[in-house]
Chain A
């Protein structure tokens, strides 16, 4: 059973300690080390595992970003993906999840036209924006069924998949018709490190860049122009007030003081 899988990946800063640019009031990411969003590693791994179990399956990694984001696609290929496509160009930059998901959906439609896509995978969220809405919005643009927070793909064939969706109070088991969009959580697998063979393949791969025009997107629908929300400014949250240290002469006294303090502060 040969499937055609698309997995969305994003190149994001590897550090969480991102400074704010005093002049713009926006996060200053220039000069930081970038790598594949750690949550996307689970999506890539899941795609590659499905491929390994189903000969003839192909996995295409899809990213939107500046030209330099070829790197994240090469990383995906080194982890076992077969191909990569980058959506890039000035018109596509500066978008919010609404505009980005619209462009990704257009690219998936294009890929689907070349060879029908069965499954779209993405990570829980990105470690920069943290919103976790791009995948869900791609599903909406495509009118595909989908599920977020999937911790297990129990079974899959060309027409449907059975998914375990992690809810707050337990696990839902659902069946989706394919094509479908699936957001993964960390519990789904343990990502592998890139293999030497994968790295060689990644080096040799030719990765096409598609622009807004290639996706038949109107300028007003792409990038910053097509966005529905805008990051106005960013700031560090107020620091936590200094704490108190509790210590007694003995451990029992320390415990007593701790409980007394919790009661006093109405915390218990």
Chain B
């Protein structure tokens, strides 16, 4: 049998690789080292030049397929391309990002390969071949065993550090010819939301507001603090359902799962459905008037008080430390 490989799927979206791709390379590298298998990246979309960067970030070999058909995410066409790469490389592990596209792809690819699939994986054990992921909304951590030769995994964001770029690192870059077969989906358009905002999934710092924010105007304060910290803006469901901020900012069971280094929860009580999306944050800062609420119990650092009084003072203090003039 030909040698098996670790295959990382590098999805180009809107012409760029996401930071999640470089996290996958870190996960893939440790598997490759442990199993003594080469690390191959398959770049879907992009150019030879962007493919070269994957070599510099640790791939032994990079295959890439470009062309108009792979420009925007199309479940079926992207799956066809990944399956072509998998047929050639015979991966023992196939790693994808835990994004909407990554999950859609993983579903199609796993069925066609007859492979087991574990999503949102936060730990990989090469020795036993098992992975860990949370279930029951973060209340339990599951250890999954595979019964298939190929293991398909989507890796949760922010779990692995991004593989650093080592300029001049050598490795092969080859184009994989891809002739798209018919697909039942046609891409029409893309509408970016709130340009310039930091995406929650890859954010290292997040400032989040809940019902305590009091209304849409209160989110101005949350945004100001986020701006001062270089953080993304998030919200609880109560704030989203009140129409104070769009759904895409919602963190939790029905919203998104985040894993920042710092999560600042302002006026959020910390119900289990909210904790489900953020309880694995590195450090949690809670600002709340209620010292007994669950978020305050979970917090690394808790501050009892009125957020409307505290946040402007915190912003002023940050500006002061940075030497910026403080607004009167």
Which residues does A use to contact B, with CB under 8 Å?
13, 16-18, 20, 27, 38-39, 96-98, 101, 124, 127-133, 135-137, 139-141, 144-149, 151, 162, 165-177, 180, 185-187, 227-237, 240-241, 243-247, 251-252, 254-256, 258-259, 261-263, 265, 267-268
Contact = CB atoms under 8 A, between A and B. Distances in A.
Contact of A131 (B14, B120, B145, B276): B120
A170 B107 contact: no
Contacts of A251: 305-306, 309-310, 313
A17 B190 contact: no
B144 A137 contact: no
B301 A261 contact: yes
B285 A258 contact: yes
B283 A167 contact: no
Given A139-B108, A172-B190, A254-B305, 8 more contacts: A27-B136, A167-B190, A171-B193, A241-B300, A245-B303, A259-B317, A267-B205, A268-B229
Most central of A137, A236, A262 by chain B CB within 10 Å? A262
B18 to A, nearest CB: 8
B183 A145 contact: yes
Q: Per DSSP, are chain A's interface residues mostly helix, strand or loop, or mixed?
A: mixed
Nearest to A186: B254
Contact of A169 (B14, B186, B187): B14
Contact of A234 (B101, B141, B183, B298): B141
A30 to B, nearest CB: 15
B188 A173 contact: yes
Contact of B144 (A231, A246, A259, A265): A231
Contacts of B120: 130-131
Contacts of B304: 245, 247
A165 B100 contact: yes
Interface string B140-168: 11111111100000000000000000000
A85 B182 CA distance: 32
B178 interface: no
A16 B73 contact: no
B301 A229 contact: no
Contacts of A131: 117-120, 133, 135
State the 5 A-B residue pairs at the shortest beta-carbon distance, nearest first: A136-B107, A145-B184, A228-B116, A255-B313, A140-B111
18 contacts: A16-B253, A127-B136, A129-B135, A133-B107, A139-B108, A146-B185, A167-B13, A167-B99, A172-B188, A173-B191, A186-B255, A228-B116, A229-B145, A229-B146, A229-B148, A237-B138, A252-B313, A267-B283
Contacts of A96: 116
Nearest to B137: A16
A45 to B, nearest CB: 14
A247 B154 CA distance: 42
Given A168-B199, A232-B130, A148 B116 contact: no
A127 B192 CA distance: 29
Contacts of B13: 167, 169
Contacts of B193: 169-171
Contact of B184 (A27, A129, A144, A245): A144
Interface of B: 13-14, 18, 72-76, 79, 99-101, 103-104, 106-108, 110-112, 114-120, 130, 133-148, 183-193, 199-201, 205, 229, 247-248, 250, 253-255, 261-262, 272-273, 276, 279-280, 282-285, 291, 298-306, 309-310, 313-314, 316-318, 321
Contacts of A168: 18, 99-100, 199-201
A243 B108 contact: no
A222 to B, nearest CB: 14
Contacts of B142: 231-234
Q: Which of A128, A135, A177, A234 is the most central at the interface, judged by chain B CB atoms within 10 Å of its CB?
A: A234
B76 A145 contact: yes
B301 A133 contact: no
B81 to A, nearest CB: 15
Contacts of A16: 136-137, 139, 253, 272-273, 276
Given A171-B193, A180-B184, A258-B303, A240 B298 contact: yes
A204 to B, nearest CB: 32
Contact of A127 (B229, B247, B253): B253
Given A171-B190, A228-B148, A255-B313, A136 B104 contact: yes
A169 B199 contact: yes
